[in-house]
Amino acid sequence: MPDRYLSFTGTAPGRFLTRRLGLPQPAALRRWTPERPGLDGGEVLHLRAGETGTPAGQAPASDSPAAGSPTGTPSAVVLDATGVRDVDGLAGVHAALHPVVREVAAGGRVVVLGAPLDPADHHQAAAQQALEGFTRSLGKEIGRGRTVNVVRLTDRDAAESTLRFLLSPKSAYVSGQVIEVTGAAQEVAVDWERPLAGRTALVTGAARGIGAAVAETLARDGAHVVVLDVPQAEEEARKLAERLNGTALALDITAADAGERIAAELPDGLDVLVHNAGITRDRRLVNMPAERWSSVLDVNLASVLRTTDALLSAKAIKANGRIVATASIAGLAGNAGQTNYGASKAGVVGLVRSLAPRALAEHGVTVNAVAPGFIETKMTAAVPLLIREAGRRMNSLAQGGLPVDVAETTAWLAHPASGAVNGQVVRVCGQSLLGA
């Protein structure tokens, strides 16, 4: 279902009229293409806000891929605020960004680097937590398709895949997020062009919608993709698998032995497991029969738990492997008519947070979730017009996301160099007004 309002505001009369009426002004977002892999605008501006009493300054150019000297319209600003330990230090955040934020190119990025909150120093914790409120507020006011995110890190090298993602068009619909990169960088040889070459990725519910985009994106990154979907969708799954030089697997993920069957199908194991299959069966709780409750809980949560357990205990997910599950902002904020769906998606968040440290320690596997907001798919095309319009506009970018936005986020989490990103729930929602 095309977003006609977005097309209208892209024309001069549309822009004029909607501005006069005080209506939202969505900027057309640019996604990654091989021809234009970088952000528009000049080089990335690296700044530092720091130690108490130290005015904001320009950080030394790092050897990160996008480092460089300032230009008139930087494509992005990276503010190193890891040294901010108190309220005085926060003045450096203002001093650094106040003069430059206006100059950031349309579709550009602001990334604030923070430090983990120190439980032994409440001044440091207050100052670092302040960066979140700052970032979320700036995300809501910056406009022109620009995004603002925080990365909390302890080792900048461990955050390279994360910074590359955030400083590229691949993160067009990710804003207002706080991403924790814990731990140190691992010694992994990375091909940044085709990071998943030689790896196998299985995507559930991949015959269409977001799952199909995830399959395509992981294949672009070099993976051999197993396109899993229900037997009724076998034809679509097979066509997609053929196009991606992958494999189709017709399997209902709610089958009690689904994990064992996947393990049998992939005797050499797999590197990336994406739990994307999901359904909705909306009704208010008072009108919801038990069958609607249980079918949603079964597909969206119980099967995710069952297959994850089966594959981990069969050691079918290789070391430095990745599990990416699909939550939803409905699981974070709640949604009328979706008690079943909201419960299932919140359950996914609980699963991720609990399992992540153990899966990493015991299997060398990270576990993260993507939480999409309003994404333009068949699922959301079926939503009544007024609710659909509200869903599209009620975020800082004033538009719905595309399946590829969720797919790119999944690909970053699935990246071999993302081993220090674990237990995170990353919203792909254009900084939706719903939820935290």
Q: What is the closest distance, in whole angstroms, from the C-beta atom of residue 415 to ligand NAD in the complex?
A: 20
Rounded-to-integer distance, Cα 3 and Cα 92, Å: 40
Who contacts 127 (Cβ-Cβ below 8 Å, separation ≥6)? 84, 85, 86, 87, 89, 90
Among 86, 252, 260, 389, binds ligand NAD (CB under 6 A): 252
CB of 280 to ligand NAD, least distance (A): 7
CB atoms within 10 A of CB 435: 16
Question: Could you give the CA distance from residue 63 to residue 163 in angstroms, rounded to a whole number?
Answer: 12
Segment 343 to 402, residues that bind ligand NAD, using CB under 6 A: 372, 374-375, 377-380
Tokens of 387: 């609710």
Stretch that binds ligand NAD, among 38-46, 51-59, 148-156, 272-280 (CB under 6 A): 272-280
Distance CA(399)–CA(64), nearest Å, equals: 31
Task: Considering only residues 310 through 339, tell me which ones interact with ligand NAD, judged by CB under 6 A.
Answer: 326, 328
Looking at the Cβ atoms of 152 and 275, the one nearer to ligand NAD is 275
How far apart (Å, rounded) are the C-alpha atoms in residues 127 and 81?
Answer: 10
Size of the site for ligand NAD (CB under 6 A): 27
**Residue 129 CB, nearest approach to ligand NAD (Å):** 27
Q: How far is the CB of 349 from ligand NAD (least distance, A)?
A: 12
Nearer to ligand NAD, 105 or 270 (CB): 270
Give the N- to C-terminal CA distance of the chain in Å, as an integer. Answer: 28
Contact pick of 74, 139, 205, 430 for ligand NAD (by CB under 6 A): 205
- Of the residues 341, 388, 398, 431, which is catalytic? 341
Q: Does 210 bind ligand NAD (CB under 6 A)?
A: yes
Ranges of H-type helices in 21-121: 87-97
**Least distance from ligand NAD to the Cβ atom of residue 233, Å:** 5
**Residue 299 interacting with ligand NAD (CB under 6 A):** yes
For residues 400 and 393, what is the distance between their CA atoms, to the nearest angstrom? 7
Q: Is 341 assigned a catalytic role?
A: yes
The residue length of the chain stands at 436
Residue 177 interacting with ligand NAD (CB under 6 A): no
Measured at the CA of 46, the angle between CA 71 and CA 151, to 5 degrees, comes to 135
Q: What does DSSP say about strands 366-372 and 425-428: parallel, antiparallel, or unpaired? A: parallel
Contacting positions for ligand NAD (CB under 6 A)? 204-205, 207-211, 229-230, 233, 252-254, 276-279, 299, 326, 328, 372, 374-375, 377-380
Active site residues: 341
